Amino acid sequence: MQGLEVTVLLGLAILLGTVLAPRLRVATPLVLLVIGLALGFVPELRQIELPPETVLLLFLPVLLFREAWTTSLRSVRRSLRYIVPMSTLLVVASAFAVAGVATWMGVPWEAALVLGAAVAPPDATAVAALGRLLPERTFMKLKAESLTNDGTALVLYSIAVSLLIGDQITPWEITGMVLVSYLGGAVAGVAVAALAFLALRRMESTLTINLTLALVPFVAFLLAEVAHASGVLAVVFAGLIVAWISPRITTAMSRRSADATWPFGVYLLNGALFVLIGLEIQLVLHEISPSEIGVLLLITVAAWIVLAVVRYLFQWLFSPFSRPATGSSRSVRHRSRVVSTVAGFRGGVSLAIALSVPLTMADGSPVPGREAVVFITAGVIVLTLLVQGPLLPAVIRWANLPSDDAAIEEFELAQRAISGAALAALDDLAAEHGISDVVKDRARREGYERLELANARALARLRAAEERDRDDDDMMVGDDEAASRMGPVPPGPDGDDDGRRPAGRLEMIAVSDDIDLTQRSPLIRHREATRLRLAILDRKREVLLRLRREGTIDDLVARRILADLDIEEIRARGMDKAAD
């Protein structure tokens, strides 16, 4: 088929899956995979092959960069005890366990080790697409694990392929490959992020900023590949760093534009990848002789079961070395391990590794076991997506893990903190920018109204939580006790001696009536209000980033509030000026 026909076909498949998924109450990636499998029954469509370099060089950099961009750096730092062993030792253990079972069932050892390296790492894009029902903390840990474990799998793959084609590898060479892969990938990612920082801090155009950001994952991947390091780790490091520094080196309009376009582009690539996986599975299925399919299906199911068992046992064995959540019981930790096991999906990375196996040996003979590796890898992907995917919501409901309200609490805290800081600095900002009292008092009223609304929302949430957790006899909570939890409120003209005021009795500062309005036209007042609003937004943004830097609030919470501040800035400046 021609490229245009394939593009139209993929677009129609993604559209159909997007329409059907909500009606079927099934995750969209699962529907797209089934559509790909169904399209594979058409002989002409089975001619569409998925070159491994397409996944490695086109899909993965963009998908991984976006997942790294939306991953909390604070969560990564706090979960290193979980992430490091899960992304290294677990991958090795899973690979060798699958290789042992496959060898016992008749697959040559070298090919079985390639198979183990291919199916060992959970896929970041699959986890992100299917794991949204997980508690926030669990979801972030799984994402971080999936973003970093591909480096280990690719090192294992390189070793296994060398053995498969007859090369000899010494332990020193293996150690060097591991060090180069991890350290080289990290250095490449940090270097590209530093270059992006130097370039972006000099840019103001929305178009040039977003074009630079779009190049970052590809440049990081290319630099790492040239150095024979892990391109996956390079993209992840670059994404985490650029996401952290972007609020200080990009504009409000560029951030809003990126947040609008990147999710759509990633959705298209992700959808196309799942459809192509379905087509590729049909292609492999028709290339295997019917006499071998039965045995390969048994090996596929066995490998899938081994992956789940090893993942659960590994978490159980390493639980004494991890830091359990505060107040978590043994039962909660067991249910959490079960949820993590079911959420270990495989996806495009596994298929790309399997397809990358060479076709021939050095003497021109076919590589033994290649067809089996591709078939079993594709089968494991299908089982994880089509069995574990629909099963995950039921497992999450069964687990009944404790609710995670940390993000909500931090969001409310940050809103009150930045609003209070802006009100405290209002007089200084007005004097600095030459703002009249009329405009300043109007801004003060609006600030108090926002702060009062934030306090009321937080109070309502606290009361709702208390009503859920307490017995009927303990449901009534005094207004004074609830108000005391809200923290300090900026004092008004008639504030109490200690600078606190009950949220429900907050009084507004009166508008000053001693200004000659004839001396200031509405246009002048509008310009003053715009200058003051922009100064207030800068102050709020400064306090917000300080809270993020100190670890008081999470990266994703800060990004959510920053998006609201960006929208306010665009409204204040006007679309045309904000886009300059």
Quick: pLDDT tens for 47-100: 776 666 666 677 888 888 888 888 888 888 888 888 888 888 999 999 999 999
Question: Which residues does 484 contact at the CB level (< 8 Å), separation at least 6?
Answer: none
* Highest-pLDDT range among 355-369, 377-391, 424-438: 377-391
List pLDDT tens digits, range 171-227: 777 778 888 888 998 999 999 999 999 999 888 888 999 999 999 999 999 999 888
Per-residue HEC secondary structure of 347-381 comes to CHHHHHHHHCCCCECCCCCECCCHHHHHHHHHHHH
| 300-314, 423-437, 495-509: least confidently modelled range | 495-509
Quote the CA–CA distance of 577 and 221 in Å, as a whole number.
35
**Taking residues 466-478, what's their average pLDDT?**
54
Secondary structure of 422-449 as H, E, C letters: HHHCHHHHHHHHCCCHHHHHHHHHHHHH
- Of 178-182, 431-435, 502-506, 515-519, the range with the lowest mean pLDDT is 502-506
Q: What is the mean pLDDT of residues 299-306?
A: 94
Confidence of residue 435 (pLDDT cuts 50, 70, 90): confident
**479: Cβ contacts below 8 Å, ≥ 6 apart:** 502, 504
Amino acid at 483: A
Instruction: Report the pLDDT value the prediction gives residue 228, as an integer from 0 to 100.
Output: 85
Summarize pLDDT for 135-171 with one digit per residue, the tens.
Answer: 777 888 888 888 888 778 888 888 888 877 777 777 7
Compute the distance between CA of residue 33 and CA of residue 271 in angstroms, rounded to an integer. Answer: 9
Return the percent helix, strand and coil in the chain, to nearest 5.
75, 0, 20
* pLDDT recorded at residue 484: 41
pLDDT at 77: 84
Question: What percentage of the chain has pLDDT greater than the value 70?
Answer: 85
pLDDT tier for residue 515 given thresholds of 50, 70 and 90? very low
3-399, CATH topology level: Na+/H+ antiporter like fold (1.20.1530)
Which DSSP string corresponds to 111-126?
Answer: HHHHHHHHHSSPPHHH
Return all residues near 415 (Cβ < 8 A) that are at least 6 apart: 454, 561
Among the ranges given (44-48, 60-64, 408-412, 420-424), the one the predictor scored with the smallest mean pLDDT: 44-48
Number of neighbouring beta carbons within 10 Å of residue 149: 24
What pLDDT was estimated at residue 518?
44
pLDDT at 325 (0 to 100)? 59
Q: Residue 401 in 3-state DSSP?
A: coil
Q: Is pLDDT larger for residue 14 or for residue 75? A: 14
Q: Which of 105-119, 359-373, 415-429 has the lowest mean pLDDT?
A: 359-373
Res 576: pLDDT: 53
Q: Say yes or no to pLDDT of 389 above 60.
A: yes
Query: What's the CA angle centered on 282, arms 277 and 287, to 5 degrees?
Result: 125
Q: At what angle do helices 252-287 and 370-383 cross, to 10 degrees?
A: 120
Which residue matches tokens 């990612």? Answer: 189
Indicate if the pLDDT at residue 503 is higher than 60.
no
Mean pLDDT of 569-579: 72
**pLDDT value for 99:** 92
Instruction: Of 46-60, 87-101, 122-136, 548-562, give the lowest mean pLDDT range.
Output: 46-60
The beta-carbon contacts of 100-103 under 8 Å, at least 24 apart in sequence, are 101/299, 101/302, 101/303, 101/306, 102/299, 102/302, 102/303, 102/376
pLDDT for 446 beyond 60: yes
Closest Cα partner for 528 from 433, 445, 425? 433
Which positions ≥6 away from 182 have C-beta within 8 Å? 151, 229, 230, 233
With a cut of 80, say whether residue 451 has pLDDT above it: no
Q: 15: pLDDT confidence band, cut at 50, 70 and 90? A: very high
- Token pair of 474, please? 């303990």
Rounded to the nearest integer, the mean pLDDT of the chain is 80
Q: List the chain domain ranges.
A: 3-399, 406-579
pLDDT above 70: residue 481: no
pLDDT band at 575 (very low <50, low <70, confident <90, very high): low
pTM of model > 0.85: no
Which structure tokens are listed for 411? 């969001």
d(CA 190, CA 240): 10
Which pLDDT score, from 0 to 100, does residue 482 have?
41
Task: For residue 336, give the nearest of 143, 144, 138 by alpha carbon.
Answer: 138
List the one residue out of 271, 312, 319, 214 whose CA is nearest residue 13: 271
